[in-house]
Amino acid sequence: MLRGVSDDVTQALGAEQQRFEAALKEVGDADALYELQVQYIGKKGSVSKLRGQMGKLAPEERKAFGMAFNEVKKAIEAALEERKEAILGAAREADLGRVEDLTMVDTLSAVGSIHPITRTRRELSRVFRKLGFDVVDGPHVEHELYNFDKLNIPADHPARDMQDTFFVDGQSTKNDSNLVLRTHTSPVQIRTMLGREPPIRIVAMGTVFRKDDDATHSPMFHQIEGLCIDKGVTMADLKATLYRFVSAFFGSDLKVRLRPSFFPFVEPGAEFDMECPFCPTNEAGEKLPSCSVCKGSCWIELGGAGMVHPKVLQACDVDPQEYTGWAFGFGIDRMATLLHGVPDLRLLFDGDVRFLEQFPC
C-alpha cells in the first residue's frame, strides 16, 4: 500500500515534469515564463504540492522521493533559468538590432529669393544714396496734371492718346483733370518740386504703365527718375553724375554719351548711352565688335535726360532765374537683364519659380 503511494507520487512527479517541459516549449515571453514558474514550482504549484505527499510515504521511501523531488525541482528551475536567459537575450538582441530613423525632417519652409528687379532697385538706391541723392516715392495712379500738364506735355501730345495711356475711372482733385496710371516716373519731379525747396537731389523708382505689349515692351515696367535742382547747375553736372553712377553700378570706368533728343519737359534734351561693359577684348585691351549685348556698337542706350525746362520749373513755383536743374529717366528692367544676364525681358514678369530660383539670396 505504502509502496503504491510512493510509485504514484513518483509517477506524478515525472508526469508533472513532462507537462512542464511541453508547456515550456510554448512559452514565448518573460510573463508567460513567470506564469509557468508559479504554476509548477510556486507555493501552490503542481510540483510543490507533490512535496506535501512526502508525509504519506514510508520513512525509508522518503529519502528516495525527496532526492527525486529535488532533482525534478532543480531541473525545472534550471530549465526556467535557461529559458529566461534566452528570452532576455533575444529581447536585448532585438533592441540592439532596432533601426531608428534618425533623419532630421526639414520642417523649414522653402526660402524665397529676391526678384532681380528688386535687387536692381536696391543696388540703384545704394549707389545714388552714396552720390548724395534722397530716394523718394510717388503714386502709381497719378493726376493727368502731374503726369502731363506740369511736365509741359500739351493736350495734343501723342503720349496723351488713349493708345498710350491707361486712363482710370474717376476725376482728379487737381484741375478736374483725369486720373491715369503714371506713364513715367517724371511726375515725381513735379511732386518733389512742389513739396520741397531747392536744393533738390532725388531719385524715384517704381512701376510705370503704358499700353504697349510686344516682345520688347511690357504694359508694366519700371523706371528710375533723377532730379537735381540748385543754383548754377549745368549739363556738365548731369553728365558727370551719369558717369559716376554708371561706373559705380557696373564696377568699372565707363564712359557716358549724350545725343540730342526731344522731351517736352527738358531743354536741351538728350538721350544718354553708356559704354558697353560686356564687350569682349583682345590681348591689347581693344574691344571686339562681336559683343552680343551692344551688337558691336560699344554703346548701350539707357534713357532720356536734359536740363529741366523753365516752364516746368515755373509750373512748380521754382524761379528759373534763380535755379537750374537737370533730370534723367531710364528703365530699370533693362538694367536688371543686363546685370543678371537675362536674355528676355518678359522672363522677369512671368512669375515662373524656376526662373526666380536662379537668383538665390
224 contacts ligand PHE (rule: CB under 6 A)? no
Q: Which is nearer to ligand PHE, 110 or 236 (CB)?
A: 236
Contact region with ligand PHE (CB under 6 A), list: 231-239, 297-305, 311-319, 333-341: 297-305
303 contacts ligand PHE (rule: CB under 6 A)? yes
> Binding residues for ligand PHE, how many (CB under 6 A)?
11
Handedness of CA 86, 87, 90, 95 (dihedral sign): negative
Edge-to-edge strand ranges of the sheet holding 200-209: 134-136, 200-209, 220-230, 324-331, 299-308, 266-275, 256-261
Residue 98 is classified by DSSP as -
Distance CA 84, CA 34 (A): 9
Q: Which is nearer to ligand PHE, 138 or 329 (CB)?
A: 329
Q: Which is nearer to ligand PHE, 229 or 266 (CB)?
A: 266
186 contacts ligand PHE (rule: CB under 6 A)? yes
Nearest-approach distance from CB 321 to ligand PHE, in angstroms:
22
8-45 CB burial, b ≥16 within 10 A, e <16: ebbeebeebbeebeeebeebeeeeebeebbebbbeeeb
Q: Which is nearer to ligand PHE, 116 or 304 (CB)?
A: 304
The DSSP result for 246-307, as a single string, is: HHHHHTS---EEEEEE--TTEEEEEEEEEE-TT--B-TTSPBPTT-TTTTTSSEEEEEEEEE
Grid cell, residue 114, equals 529676391
**Residue 248 contacts residue 133 (beta carbons within 8 Å):** no
Nearest-approach distance from CB 280 to ligand PHE, in angstroms:
31
327 contacts ligand PHE (rule: CB under 6 A)? yes
Nearest-approach distance from CB 176 to ligand PHE, in angstroms:
24
Please, which of residues 245-274 interact with ligand PHE by CB under 6 A? 263, 266
Tell me how long the chain is: 361
Q: Which is nearer to ligand PHE, 33 or 274 (CB)?
A: 274
Nearest-approach distance from CB 291 to ligand PHE, in angstroms:
25
Interface contacts to ligand PHE, rule CB under 6 A? 184, 186, 263, 266, 303-306, 327-329
